[in-house]
Amino acid sequence: MSDLRFFLQLFKPYQSWLIAGVLLSILTTLGGIALLTLSGWFISSAAIAGVSVINDVTASFNYMQPAAEIRALALIRTLGRYGERIITHEATFRVLAQVRIWFFAQITPLATGRLALIRSGDLLARMTSDIDALDGLYLRLIAPVVVATVGLSGVLIFIYQYAPLISLNTAALLVIACVIVPLLFNRLGDNGAKAIVSLTATFKTRQIEILQGLRDLQTFQAYERFKNQVLRVSERLIETQRGNNRLTALSSALTLFISQLTLLLSVILAAMALQDGQMSAAESAILVFCILAAFELVMPLAPAMQMLGKIQQAAHNIRTVASLPPTINEPEQSLPLPKNYDLQLENLSFRYENQENWLIKDLSLNIPQGSKIAIVGNSGMGKTSLLHLLLRFFDPQQGRVLLNGEDYKQFNSDELLSCFGLLSQRSQLFATTIRGNLLIGKANATDDELNAAIAAAGLESFIQKLPDGLETWVGEQGLKVSGGEARRIALARVYLKNAPIILLDEPTEGLDSKTEEDVLTALENLVRDKTLIMVTHRSAGLRLAEKVYQFKPEGLTQLPSVPDKLEQILLYSE
């Protein structure tokens, strides 16, 4: 319940909307109960008056006043229901928006490091289905419980004025229907509700994975196997939902049975009171119809309590992600960035969480401003992780990274990132236009700056051939452009940022020789007056570097600058 209490605190900015929705719900509910009760009395009284006239008994009956009251109550109920729907749903949308804003604020510091360790499908489930599940906290749990408490208390007090025994009997059965039955079905449906949350997340994760790898799965004829895995998760999810739906139907049937039992006992007690002259026939009709109307408030409670486990699990999942510790800690008072960009690595050791062996061990290296270095080595040696440390996505467990002699930890990480431009083999293109992707490098770039970046990246002829030019849509993950064009767009983005330190992570991986030469030529011009740090496991592009280091578990070894000998070492290491 602590997770639910936490999110209720987030609802406070919109408590006026939430309270207004509950008050309108109470007004609408009381109006509906009063409408059915008064209608029952009116019909019964009219029938009694008619029978009296037939039996030559003079009877007076005020027709106009109750008829007007019924019309008024009908209007109150109709308008109240309309207003209640608008206000409660508006309140729900507002609080869900508040939760989303809070969630994104919480995970933003985790984006560079921590979130990379979480499966994208699982994170998507947290941001969508789990947050959406919280709409039940107010709309299907809090509001119905408050309305039922107020409405049923009013009904019992009203009935007590006419027949205390019927009121007490009704109260006892309402306790069973409103407390015991919901708690019982909450316990019965708790595991299923939590399983639905887990299976939904797994189902979405598997869907995303199969869509992202569809071409590879078809190529290796593994699509059917992966599809069957998704279908099995879907079947388990459907079966779990079916089981919970059975419990919902059973709880509704049991509640309906209790309501009919209450009504039957009330009719019997009212008939006994009528026979003893303690109550008139019209008054007995009032009580019966009032009880009948009151049980409309009871019906939503058992299904709501049954889904309490789902809401709790969703809230717990969201808080679990949001409360993850960041991989770096920002300084309370950060130093301003220096004007000199010398980098030093001092006895650097690093490994990811739950990793026993060191990925990088006791690494030391000086990189003066303007240096051009390449770090080569086999895949999986930690070269990309070294770039992540330079970008401060992670902090090393041992040793330090220094910028102009000052520890990285003394700088604000966002300001530090302004010093770096990154081009990797997986540079992300977003589902927007070419212009939109370029402006990520510099949001306020002028047309002249865009044209200069396009020319530097060798994109001019490509863009000139496109009917929409810079406004051409690149598709999801840049699927509408080739790998070489995507790399050039990413390169133009780095050019626009114009950072003093350029990091290259396998910049020509997967490119044909012609495209590779074009990209390297563009990079050669880009890094001319900048610091260059390139990591690769290939010999391509080493012409950009003045020094080449080989990355091994025992540390860095500077390789000879003689091209032929260097080429032999690299070929042997690969």
333 belongs to a structural domain = no
Task: Say whether both 295 and 367 belong to one domain.
Answer: no
9 belongs to a structural domain = yes
337 belongs to a structural domain = no
Percent of the chain with pLDDT over 70: 91
Percent of the chain with pLDDT over 90: 11
CA distance 179 to 186: 10
pLDDT in tens, 287-299: 888 888 888 888 8
Find the helix packing angle between 143-162 and 15-54, rounded to 10°: 30
Q: What is the pLDDT of residue 184?
A: 87
pTM value? Answer: 0.72
CA distance 308 to 136: 8
Task: Say whether both 389 and 259 belong to one domain.
Answer: no
Whole-number mean pLDDT of the chain? Answer: 83
pLDDT in tens, 20-70: 999 999 998 888 888 888 887 777 777 776 655 555 555 555 667 778 888
pLDDT in tens, 361-401: 888 889 999 999 988 877 777 888 888 899 888 889 899 99
CA distance 391 to 408: 10
Confidence class of residue 501 from pLDDT cuts 50, 70 and 90? very high
Looking at 289, 322, 355, which one is the last position of a domain?
A: 322
Residue in the structure block whose two tokens are 């610091």: 531
Please indicate whether residue 410 or residue 105 has the higher confidence score (pLDDT): 410
Q: Which domain CATH number covers 348? A: 3.40.50.300
331 belongs to a structural domain = no
Whether residue 219 has pLDDT greater than 60: yes
Q: What is the pLDDT of residue 573?
A: 46
334 belongs to a structural domain = no
260 belongs to a structural domain = yes
Task: Say whether both 304 and 376 belong to one domain.
Answer: no
Q: What is the pLDDT of residue 563?
A: 53
Task: Say whether both 511 and 372 belong to one domain.
Answer: yes
Looking at 292, 322, 352, which one is the last position of a domain?
A: 322
Q: Please count the other Cβ atoms lying within 10 Å of the Cβ belonging to residue 446.
A: 9
Whether residue 557 has pLDDT greater than 80: no
Task: Say whether both 365 and 277 belong to one domain.
Answer: no
Q: Which domain CATH number covers 35? A: 1.20.1560.10
Task: Say whether both 296 and 350 belong to one domain.
Answer: no
69 belongs to a structural domain = yes
- Among the residue ranges 369-378, 436-445, 513-522, 541-550, the one predicted with the least confidence is 513-522
Looking at 257, 291, 322, which one is the last position of a domain?
A: 322
Instruction: Please state, in angstroms and as integers, the Cα–Cα distance from residue 408 to each residue in 132, 240, 341, 378, 400, following that order.
Output: 39, 50, 12, 28, 8
Cβ contact 319:275 at 8 Å: no
Task: Say whether both 374 and 503 belong to one domain.
Answer: yes
338 belongs to a structural domain = no
Buried b (16+ CB within 10 A) or exposed e, 512-550: eeebbebbbebbeebbeebbbbbbbbebbbbebbeebbb
Whether residue 569 has pLDDT greater than 60: no
Task: Say whether both 282 and 365 belong to one domain.
Answer: no
Whether residue 402 has pLDDT greater than 90: yes
Please indicate whether residue 206 or residue 404 has the higher confidence score (pLDDT): 404
Q: Which residues contact 215 (CB under 8 A, 6 or more apart)?
A: none
pLDDT in tens, 134-163: 888 888 888 888 998 898 998 899 888 888
pLDDT in tens, 162-182: 888 888 998 999 899 888 888
Top-confidence range, 209-218, 277-286, 409-418: 409-418
Task: Say whether both 272 and 362 belong to one domain.
Answer: no
Q: What is the pLDDT of residue 500?
A: 93
Task: Say whether both 20 and 165 belong to one domain.
Answer: yes
Task: Say whether both 157 and 223 belong to one domain.
Answer: yes
The pLDDT of 248-258, averaged and rounded, is 88
Tokens representing residue 388 in the block: 């992540």
DSSP state of 219: H
Tokens representing residue 367 in the block: 């990189």
The pLDDT of 74-78, averaged and rounded, is 87
Give residue 351's domain range.
343-573
- Among the residue ranges 9-18, 106-115, 195-204, 533-542, the one predicted with the least confidence is 106-115
pLDDT in tens, 256-281: 899 889 889 888 888 888 888 787 77
Confidence class of residue 572 from pLDDT cuts 50, 70 and 90? very low
pLDDT in tens, 435-479: 888 888 888 888 888 888 888 888 888 888 888 888 888 877 677
Please indicate whether residue 301 or residue 61 has the higher confidence score (pLDDT): 301
Q: What is the pLDDT of residue 336?
A: 92
Task: Say whether both 252 and 286 belong to one domain.
Answer: yes
- Note the helical H segments in 213-280: 214-219, 223-275
pLDDT in tens, 308-346: 878 888 888 888 888 888 888 888 888 999 989 999 999
Q: How many domains does the chain have?
A: 2
Longest CA pairwise span in the chain (Å): 127
DSSP state of 433: B
Q: Which residues contact 24 (CB under 8 A, 6 or more apart)?
A: 80, 83, 84, 87, 88
